[in-house]
Structure 1
């Protein structure tokens, strides 16, 4: 979405929009439905992961690629499609993305192997990236100036609603219909949306005559992220320096330095490296990525614990994982209002400290099945409170840390690291739980592991997630001490 925001401000500056589109509310619903579908499919799979793992009889390191592939693809392509839209057109790119997302959702639902499902998820994420990258731009241009602020606010609400609905909706769909329907449900919605978009998705926009994309930067960024995620996945099979691991490590190192060198020489780079000169931008960025890594580790492994150890159904697990986003979506705006009024510079650090203690406590409690479930639920409540305290002040500080001329760069970069943190969390959860099970002498798949092995292994990873939050809190405390 960050790249879309960059271009929309440039267009708006050239051409004031006073009237907006006469079908702007239809456009709003169509775009937000696409955003909701893309967000849901990023989170809904976590609840279905134990069922899919057992269905294909694979390890968690293999099945977590279903989530990793989706997150990595979106992370890699957001900046690129923001540039492509300048030439293709925002409305046209959105419809192409919707068509690809819908057709690949059907392919995901009828997949007969894990490899086919992962490949289809890559195509699905590509369609999602097309929609996500310019959704804000379309809404901004469809509304008159007097209504743009309110319209843009609906995007944040839609993302939050998607995070809330994902686990709950996924749990009920898996229990009632089976895992394939978490993908197949997109098909009828997407078809109706495409028919309506063909008629109503019209916005005034000026397309560039040429396509100016830093393709070298885009390709090296994709190579960098894919090699890093695949490398982490391969490590779950062991730390021996096998040819695949060495090759992935080499690709990662070369692509990392290649990306840095290329971006430093480009006149119009995908990523302006000068933002890293601002310490007060870098520090909240570190806190943010650690937050999402830790959060996704709990999100991925939690369902395996509650289903495999506690014996809960997918729908029951979905309700448990509804707690954190539900508290966050209501608590974050309140926390943001408090921060705006009082400017408490250690509020983000307080939030991360609460998150850390909650995750560590959850890990200790998960070691024994004798603990009352209410104790575990209390941990989730405090995790939600911690997330609410952390996100608003951290995001505000991050956006205020750069000059106004670089505000769009901050927006696109934070969107990218948010997705990267989520992808890292998914990969690390598979790696760490595999290592914990191997240390306990178990080398089979997670779906076949007994409750004792699951409880011991997953609980330790939960405490590691809490440790990451401690590091994030320390960074936030240091940042607070340096604020004026």
Structure 2
């Protein structure tokens, strides 16, 4: 009995290592991107795809692996994913050119997707309903700590030891995580055996999303009338329509549309996507801004984006306790309101004479709001589906969150660069080596301000989705 009481917390320790590794991998590169780009003399397009290649493949594979986990069991897929992620992280440091690095980033995304897909279901299966909110808040707290350490770690490693260590630091963490998970996690057979994978649906959604990301990444650099951009947009429309058509006749569809009959589940997922779309690129944009405009090195820029994750760390343990007393609708909507206020401060203060205090306060509010939003929103999603569908439900939630991240990154960088003259487009990724004058700083600042305005509007849409997530008892609780 005592072992049974300990087991959920041991599982949480395993998944925490996986979350820590995955989130560090994302947040370190947000700040260290100029170091990598400068080493390979990469232009704007290639620099974009250092980030986007991982995000795109991670996004689509998350949903595939969610179904595989339901069929074959979470333990073996989690351990395989963490092992593969660790090995590829080592290989990336030996990349001879930018295109090999991008290819290895795609392979790294395979392992990352396997890890992220299985963390929340492993936690949900291990904990009872009474303690699940606390466990999920710890999960968010670990992710927040990784995001806190990531920018400083990535900036410091890139500045002091070179770009390779931005990837090599993953290796010891990955080895520890694999060994610990092997001894802790119990083999549990899959609960959806007999079901298949909707490969055609996955291929069409990948091609559709890939077309959109390609068009966004190219549009701000080569112009929206470019044939390559038009091809990307046409591919997006065609393959998304094909995806809808395929799903209607699929025996085992990649998205279980029957789950969307529950309004709370539907609106929680909509809020997940829009919130991710609105806030995911904030740290990247601010880190690039300080490196280009203020000529800060990567380490100092990493310090200046800490308020976002400090806010998440403050909020995560508090909201874990609040989930017992207050409805997901109240907590999630309140968190998004805080994020919106933070966005307003960024819009107001970004510019050549940007106030570090107000920009830091804006980031802090975004972090607080995100920390308050995520735990109750995730709990609402996971508890509204049957046990045997949790892998699929979490896969969809993770996919929507990752889809928001990749589109947010492509969209925000496109907005910043689209209004710049050709000579300035590559400077966004040049870091301290950028050669710009006062007039250039004004142009660049205007691009950042426009990006933050778009993110603020998206946050307002997320507030509406969260508020209208449910009726009946939860509505009364909010009122």
Shift of 1:120: 0.8
Q: Which residue number corresponds to residue 427 of structure 1?
A: 410
Shift of 1:407: 7.7
Q: Which residue number corresponds to residue 89 of structure 2?
A: 105
Q: Which residue number corresponds to residue 461 of structure 1?
A: 448
Aligned residue for 2:272, secondary structure, equals helix
Q: Which residue number corresponds to residue 470 of structure 1?
A: 457
Shift of 1:378: 2.6
Residues 463 and 201 of structure 1: is their aligned pair in 2 closer, same or farther, counting only changes over 3 Å?
A: same
Aligned residue for 2:280, secondary structure, equals helix
Aligned residue for 2:46, secondary structure, equals helix
User: TM-score under structure 1 normalisation?
Assistant: 0.82
> Which moved further from structure 2: 188-197 or 47-56?
188-197
Of 146, 163, 169, which aligns to 1:185?
169
The separation in 1 between residues aligned to 2:320 and 2:173, in whole angstroms, is 34
Question: 2:314, 2:368 within 8 Å by CA — same for their partners in 1?
Answer: no
Q: Deviations over 1:419-438 (max 9, x none)?
A: 11111111112211211223
Aligned residue for 2:419, secondary structure, equals helix
Unaligned ranges ≥5, structure 2: none
Aligned residue for 1:376, secondary structure, equals helix
Shift of 1:105: 0.5
Of 292, 310, 329, which aligns to 1:326?
310
Shift of 1:70: 1.5
The separation in 2 between residues aligned to 1:284 and 1:150, in whole angstroms, is 19
Question: 2:137, 2:375 within 8 Å by CA — same for their partners in 1?
Answer: no
Aligned residue for 1:222, secondary structure, equals helix
Q: Deviations over 1:103-132 (max 9, x none)?
A: 211122122322111111110110111222
**1:313 and 2:313 aligned:** no
Question: 2:137, 2:316 within 8 Å by CA — same for their partners in 1?
Answer: no
Q: Which residue number corresponds to residue 286 of structure 2?
A: 302
Q: Which residue number corresponds to residue 114 of structure 2?
A: 130
> Which moved further from structure 2: 224-233 or 41-50?
224-233
Residues 247 and 317 of structure 1: is their aligned pair in 2 closer, same or farther, counting only changes over 3 Å?
A: same
User: TM-score under structure 2 normalisation?
Assistant: 0.82
Question: 2:93, 2:167 within 8 Å by CA — same for their partners in 1?
Answer: yes
Question: 1:333, 1:392 within 8 Å by CA — same for their partners in 2?
Answer: no
Residues 120 and 223 of structure 1: is their aligned pair in 2 closer, same or farther, counting only changes over 3 Å?
A: same
Q: Which residue number corresponds to residue 419 of structure 2?
A: 436
Shift of 1:42: 1.9
Q: How many residues end up aligned between the 2 structures? A: 464
Residues 398 and 461 of structure 1: is their aligned pair in 2 closer, same or farther, counting only changes over 3 Å?
A: farther
Question: 1:61, 1:236 within 8 Å by CA — same for their partners in 2?
Answer: no
> Which moved further from structure 2: 77-86 or 279-288?
279-288
Aligned residue for 1:288, secondary structure, equals helix
Q: Which residue number corresponds to residue 359 of structure 2?
A: 376
The separation in 2 between residues aligned to 1:240 and 1:189, in whole angstroms, is 43
Aligned residue for 1:179, secondary structure, equals coil
Residues 305 and 267 of structure 1: is their aligned pair in 2 closer, same or farther, counting only changes over 3 Å?
A: same
Shift of 1:376: 2.6
Unaligned ranges ≥5, structure 1: 1-16
Of 22, 27, 30, which aligns to 1:46?
30
Shift of 1:192: 4.7
The separation in 2 between residues aligned to 1:87 and 1:354, in whole angstroms, is 40
The separation in 1 between residues aligned to 2:64 and 2:451, in whole angstroms, is 34
The separation in 2 between residues aligned to 1:331 and 1:189, in whole angstroms, is 26
The separation in 2 between residues aligned to 1:345 and 1:159, in whole angstroms, is 22
Shift of 1:203: 1.8
